[in-house]
Structure 1
Amino acid sequence: MNIFGWYEPDSKGKSYIKPVGKIPKGLPDFTAGWWLPLYNVGRQMTLSVIICLVDICESISIAKAMARINKYRLNYTQELRGLGLANLAGAMFNCYTTTGSFSRSAVNNSVGAKTPLANFVTGITIMITLLWITPVFKNMSQNVQGAIIIVGVLQLFDWPEFLYLWRINKLDWLVWNVSFLVVLFAGVEIGIGTGVGLSLLLVIYKTAFPRISQLGRLPGTTVYRSVAMYPEAEPQPGVLLLRVDAQLYFANIEGVRDYVTQAIEQRRSAGDKSGDPVRVVVLDLAPVTDIDATGIHFLDDLVDELRHEGGVALVLGNPSQRVLLSLKRAHLDRKIGRANINVHMADAVVRARAIADAKLKQETVAGV
């Protein structure tokens, strides 16, 4: 084991390759009892919550990676139940917290493990090793341990996913890179927490600043699509068609209000294809699955603001049953006009065109 003298210390007392050293024999003692550690309860609860979150994130992350590699569907509930039972049993023996291990899972997968029986065999092998075979590993190099883990974990580096995220969504790519770098330089716990926190910030950002699209009619159809994505889509004379791709609630109301105001000003300054100013605003509410009280107040105020902006009318299209029920409870359907709330977008546009034509006639008569 020491033929080349690599384990012998040099003049500074350091050896080239460090052995594992003595590994204590035996299994952990049974430590469960009727008492509870009531000292420093606040800190213990805080640590428990942190450990639980880290364990869940780490376990689900490696489980998803294994499921993607081996082409099977992950049962998250079953995974968490297994972790809970394992931690309850392990706590009775003062064991380290049970979680999905990146390194051991990768090694298991690399040797061809396919069922939980592999973990059972691994557990029995570790138990036998702890009871009788620990002296064998006394002179084993620590480098060997590192090499086994490195070879196993290398399979988890999904470089194609890096390029895939860059092509598909730059924000997802950013979360991936930040999480990877923080895990690499600050540790798994901080890295997972950073990734989760950044993901939550992106969710908040996307809901607070929803995508709002101006719509136009595809030639020869009654289908309305974004004019930015479909250049051939035709804006309707005197009608501004908008679609809000998020629920209407307190966090994004001001952004929607500002967009509507700016869109009307742009159409007024540039003019649409017919040269008519905006006389009717149509909101396509198909993506709006829910609306809160602030959203109802927003629609109420929007009706007044549009009327103040030269008598512009508001028409709603594709409201869901939940949104429609909220409008009725607030009696806002009466203020908007029940004829101005349509199930189909095509009907909403027909209604808007009728209102715009009537306003144009009134303006023509008044001008004459």
Structure 2
Amino acid sequence: MQVTRPKTVIMGNIPGTDVYRNLHHYKEAQRIPGVLVLSIESAVNFANSNYLTERTSRWIEECEEEEAQEKHSSLQFLILEMSAVSGVDTNGVSFFKELKKTTAKKNIELVFVNPLSEVIEKLQRADEEEEFMRPEFLFLTVAEAVASLSLKGPSLNNV
């Protein structure tokens, strides 16, 4: 089950810190308006790419609805925390390409946090014209990403 339905979680900020944790395990964790932080905690491959596509799409839709209900500005950034992604295969690469297309249609920037070097290399080789592995959207920590993105996104200035 772990292979076909890998652990994926929405992360939130622990107020007063630069720490991001699972929203469902840490009740004090809060989502940042305009940002959806997802942690993928396994390799991305043929066995789980469909599940990840469905799960991610559902979370994006739910987040957009929540932003609209709370009268926040729209979702601007999807941050993928990838430190536990040990590898990607061809289907995994396709997942990231499709995710980039989906987010681009919605004017959401796709941001990568802490992918392993072999994952970066594989995605860059496959990224001929997609340009989804741009250096300005590649960070070591979620806190670093949010801090940098707050300069780009008007609704993130209070982060």
TM-score of the superposed pair, with normalisation by structure 2:
0.87
Aligned to 1:326: 122
Superposition deviation, residue 221 in structure 1: 1.2
2:3 maps to 207
Selected match of 2:147 from 341, 346, 350: 350
Q: What's the CA shift for 1:351? A: 3.2
Cα distance change of structure 1 residues 213 and 274 upon mapping to structure 2, 3 Å threshold: farther
- Between Structure 1 and Structure 2, the one with more strand by share is 2
1:243 aligns with 2:39: yes
**Structure 2 unmatched runs, 5+:** none
- Asked whether the 8 Å contact 2:12–2:22 carries over to 1, the reply is yes
Query: Is 1:301 the counterpart of 2:98 in the alignment?
Result: yes
Superposition misfits of 4+ residues, deviation over 4 angstroms = none
Q: How does 1:40-189 map to 2 (within 5 A)?
A: none
Q: Number of matched residues?
A: 155
Distance, in Å, in 2 between the alignment partners of 1:212 and 1:233 is 16
Residue 353 of structure 1: how far off its partner (Å): 3.0
* 1:23-34 superposed matches below 5 A: none
User: What's the counterpart of residue 265 of structure 1?
Assistant: 61
Could you report, residue by residue, the CA deviation over 1:139-175 in whole angstroms, capped at 9, with x for unpaired residues? xxxxxxxxxxxxxxxxxxxxxxxxxxxxxxxxxxxxx
Task: Check whether the contact 2:150–2:156 (CA below 8 A) recurs between aligned residues.
Answer: no
What's the counterpart of residue 228 of structure 1? 24
Displacement after TM superposition at 1:356 (Å): 2.7
- Percent identity among equivalent residues? 25
Residue type of the alignment partner of 2:101: D
Greater radius of gyration (CA): 1
The CA RMSD measured in Å over matched residues stands at: 2.3
**Residue ranges of structure 1 left out of the alignment (5+ in a row):** 1-204, 361-368
Structure with larger RCO (C-alpha < 8 A, sep 6+): 2
Change (3 A) 1:239 1:274: farther
Q: Would you say 1:340 and 2:137 are equivalent positions?
A: yes
Conserved 8 A contact 2:80-2:111: yes
SS at match of 1:264: helix
How far apart, in 2, do the equivalents of 1:273 and 1:286 lie?
Answer: 31
Query: Structure 1-normalised TM-score?
Result: 0.39
Per the TM alignment, residue 345 of structure 1 is displaced from its structure 2 partner at its CA by 2.2
- For residues 222 and 273 of structure 1, do their structure 2 counterparts lie closer, same or farther at Cα, with a shift above 3 Å needed? farther
Pick closer, same or farther for the CA change 1:353–1:233 going to 2, 3 Å.
same
Q: Distance in 2 between matches of 1:239 and 1:324?
A: 22
Further displaced range: 325-334 or 236-245: 325-334
SS in 1 for 2:112: strand
